[in-house]
Amino acid sequence: MTKLLKTIFLPLFSLLATLPGCSSTGTGQLDTSPKLDGSVVPTTLDAADAQSTTADTQSTTKSDTGRDRDTGLTTSADTGRARDALAADTRPVVSPGACTASDDIQLIGNQILDMSGTRFVARGPEIVVASSNLTAAIDAIDATGANAARFLLTLDAANGMTPEKFDTLLARAVSKNLILWISLYTWNGDKGNPIAAELGGGNFYSLTAPTGAGNCSSKTPTACYLAVWSRDWLRNLTTKYKGHIIVDAMQEYIGVANVESEAGRTEWADAAKANIRWFRSAGFTNPLEVMTNFQGRDLYAIVEKGESIRSVDSRTISGYPQTMFGWQAYWSGESYKTTQGSLLLGKSNGRLTAAEAIHQFVVTQAFPIQVGFDAYNPDTGAEYVDQINQSATDQSHWLWWSWNDGSQDVACTSHPECSATVIKSANGFAGAVKSTCSL
């Protein structure tokens, strides 16, 4: 499958303008299909190819008996504190009005406020930004009613992207009043993941990481991302559009320890703290998002360690650290419902669907959590409908994997009603409330 994907995908990159989205798949087990860490070529070429990739995903049996014990919720913020913070969030921190209340997006309690001080609830797609010919895609996203997007800035030399090209596309999105999450992306492993010279050059997995960030390698890529974030062009772009950008300070984490263990969660948390400290020391004032452990699937890690992680953020507004979290709700597999459910509910036979987890845990934390959905099996599968509806009820932030530039539509695989649900329904993009702030 990998050889076939490369045979198909590499010629597509030469066209540049027709790159569809690509996602890390989520399974009930650890998967070896491509991830947002950019370790291999993206697989979302079209619906059929994405499905075949999912079928090829290798599985690892979950057997951590420690997850069967009655652990309770070992969070640093007790339930009462979370409820108090949630109640406090209903009071405006700054008065809505002109887009001059703040230079930045603000994270106040578990809410996101735009530059006018108005509460903002994100609904939008993720899109791989690998071509300068994406203005039509941005316009199409805007036309759906979406109020947010995640841009995965593609670094590979084969794509020919430059800071100026990224700038043009960011300006287009901001002119549509979109709030943007910014991630980095690389795919060309066959060539050693060479970064375009205009973007600073080098091979992604052999870059020199900032002091104290650890070793940059394909096995520990977190330091590689920081090496790119330290480049002036990227810092300049996020500063220029800081009133519309949330920085993905740590993408889907890949570490050394067993991701299902407490050691794995601790390793993730320590890496997250180090990244937050680095971004602030480097002068970034944007809100930061940290994607959770287990390549984004571990909601319990956020609940358990989120407060301690964000406590290291030196940038605060009204006493609130400007760090939030991301969770991929790819829980259609039963193992996630039971293992994560047991940990979150504090009992050995616990069980939670992703929709239930949104209601009981995502929106009751004292900080924002952005949730990720798709329609792929065995990621979210058909459960995306319940998740979208629950998010509308609870005013939860969510982004959809992904936008297909070729069809100017969301990637929906085999679900014929998917596009209508995600885009046209009142609980989908069409019902989003846009920020009033643009350029």
Say if residues 389 and 356 touch (Cβ distance below 8 Å).
no
In 3D, which of 413, 412, 414, 407 has the Cα closest to residue 422? Answer: 412
Do you know the residue count of the chain? Answer: 439
Which two tokens mark 220? 């520990």
Question: Is 2-50+71-431 assigned to CATH 3.10.20.30?
Answer: no
pLDDT in tens, the chain (439 residues): 333 333 333 434 433 333 333 333 333 333 333 333 333 333 233 333 333 333 333 333 333 333 332 333 333 343 444 444 443 444 333 444 579 888 999 999 999 999 999 999 999 999 999 999 999 999 999 999 999 999 999 999 999 999 999 999 999 999 999 999 999 999 999 999 999 999 999 999 999 999 989 999 999 999 999 999 999 999 999 999 999 999 999 998 888 999 999 999 999 999 999 999 999 999 999 999 999 999 999 999 999 999 999 999 999 999 999 999 999 999 999 999 999 999 999 999 999 999 999 999 999 999 999 999 999 988 999 999 999 999 999 999 999 999 998 889 999 866 778 999 999 999 999 999 999 997 6
Q: Report domain extents, the chain.
A: 2-50+71-431
Residue whose structure tokens are 């085999």:
414
Of the candidates 234, 392, 362, 370, the residue with the CA atom closest to the CA atom of residue 291: 370
**Alpha-carbon distances, residue 305 vs 185, 254, 278, 299, 389 (angstroms):** 27, 17, 19, 10, 27
Q: Angle between the 334-345 and 299-310 helix axes, to the nearest 10 degrees?
A: 50
The answer to whether the beta carbons of residues 250 and 222 sit under 8 Å apart is yes
Q: What angle do CA 86, 92, 93 make, to 5 degrees?
A: 95
| Whether pTM exceeds 0.85 | no
For 233, other C-beta atoms within 10 Å of its C-beta total 16
